[in-house]
Amino acid sequence: MNSYRNQKICLEEFIPSRVICKNFPEKSFDLNREENGNYIKLSYFTELHNHTGLVGKKKYELLLPKYVRRNQETFEVLGLLQAEMGKQHDGKVVFCNHEYRLVKKVMEWFEKEFDLPKDSWKWYIKVNINEPSDENYKKEVENKVIDYWISKIGLSLEWSYPKKVSYIKNTKNIQVGFYDYGTLIIEMGSNLFSQILKSFIKNIFYKILEFNDNEVRWFMKGIIAGESNVEVYIPDKRYRVFITAKDPNERLLFQQCLKRLGINSIQNGDFKSIIISKKENNLKLLKQQLMTLSPEKYNKFLRMMNLYEDFDGLKEWRNNLQKPHNKIPQDKINKIIELHNQHPDCPA
């Protein structure tokens, strides 16, 4: 790890010469840049009009660091952003996830690399149920999820936007699960920063195979934390990991990254996924710690691996008594089981 300590990725090549208008993509504006030590000061002007015509100009500015650290944290977060960040041209940076550790990791990276504090983000929580007609139950749900995310992330209520909690319309769910706290969506409105960041992530993604094995591995940890699903079907011993991507080119690149790490996978166009199966491949996921970024998925993956009978490699790993990474603590699991036994009728 010491060899990565002072390495950096230059952001200058991802700065456009013109800024695309977020509402009218056919329009763009000249971008001015000025060197300022380890930062680049960027600015552009838009025209202001009313019914009489042009009435003035509005100036937008951004102080951008020249470099981000080329380390494990950066590649893991870039993988998460590739998996979970909105990619459309809308003038915003949007990230969503239901695991607070992953949201916190992303926010801390932006603060460390771009000097963007936690209160730079607007936020709201999306709950996967119809909006309750019972006002008392609605208040109970909203208090529960808001209190959870405030306690875990340290959100400020004044930065919620457009409202604190939103609901899903096209679902049959009418009650929130006992351990369901919704998905947190964080959003930052900055047209210029959005364009630079999305260009940066896109270029890193499509050039990821030009990086070294560790960087490919770290990037795939982020992808897997954001886009994977662990399938366990005991009757026919179907133990698989799915990685989802609508774009077949993205799926192909995921496969190439895994192949680089010695892991074979197959494409499944029906599910718009690649599938990692067979015990040898799952063992490599385990040994390379590719599932560890998401505690929830890693815990399910470990349960799946424990369903295998001992075989060469897995037995060795077990005998080495390696401590699981990011596994949900056993005392928490015991508490969840205890609560479920006390309230067996509550939805899980």
pTM, 2 dp: 0.88
Asked whether residue 282 is assigned to any structural domain, the reply reads: yes
CA atoms within 13 A on the CB side of 332: 8
Tell me 145's DSSP state. Answer: H
Question: Which CATH number covers residue 323?
Answer: 3.10.28.10
Asked whether residue 292 is assigned to any structural domain, the reply reads: yes
Query: pLDDT tens digits for 85-102?
Result: 988 889 999 999 999 999
Cα(304)–Cα(237) distance, integer angstroms: 10
Question: Phi, psi (5° rounding) for residue 175?
Answer: -130, 140
Asked whether residue 340 is assigned to any structural domain, the reply reads: no
Could you tell me the two tokens for 173?
A: 């769910």
The answer on pLDDT for 5 being more than 70 is no
Q: Which amino acid is at 98?
A: H
The number of folded domains in the chain is: 3
Asked whether residue 347 is assigned to any structural domain, the reply reads: no
Question: Which CATH number covers residue 167?
Answer: 3.30.1330
Q: Are residues 42 and 118 in the same domain?
A: no
Asked whether residue 159 is assigned to any structural domain, the reply reads: yes
Asked whether residue 79 is assigned to any structural domain, the reply reads: no
Asked whether residue 338 is assigned to any structural domain, the reply reads: no
Q: Are residues 323 and 220 in the same domain?
A: yes
Q: Are residues 60 and 98 in the same domain?
A: no
Q: Write down the pLDDT at residue 87.
A: 87
Q: Are residues 242 and 295 in the same domain?
A: yes
Q: Are residues 96 and 52 in the same domain?
A: no
Asked whether residue 323 is assigned to any structural domain, the reply reads: yes
Q: Are residues 175 and 224 in the same domain?
A: no
Query: pLDDT tens digits for 223-281?
Result: 999 999 999 998 988 999 999 999 999 999 999 999 999 999 999 888 899 999 999 99
Q: Are residues 222 and 326 in the same domain?
A: yes
Burial class (CB in 10 A: 0-12, 13-18, 19+), 116: middle
Domain that holds residue 121: 92-189
Q: Are residues 28 and 133 in the same domain?
A: no
Q: Write down the pLDDT at residue 347.
A: 47
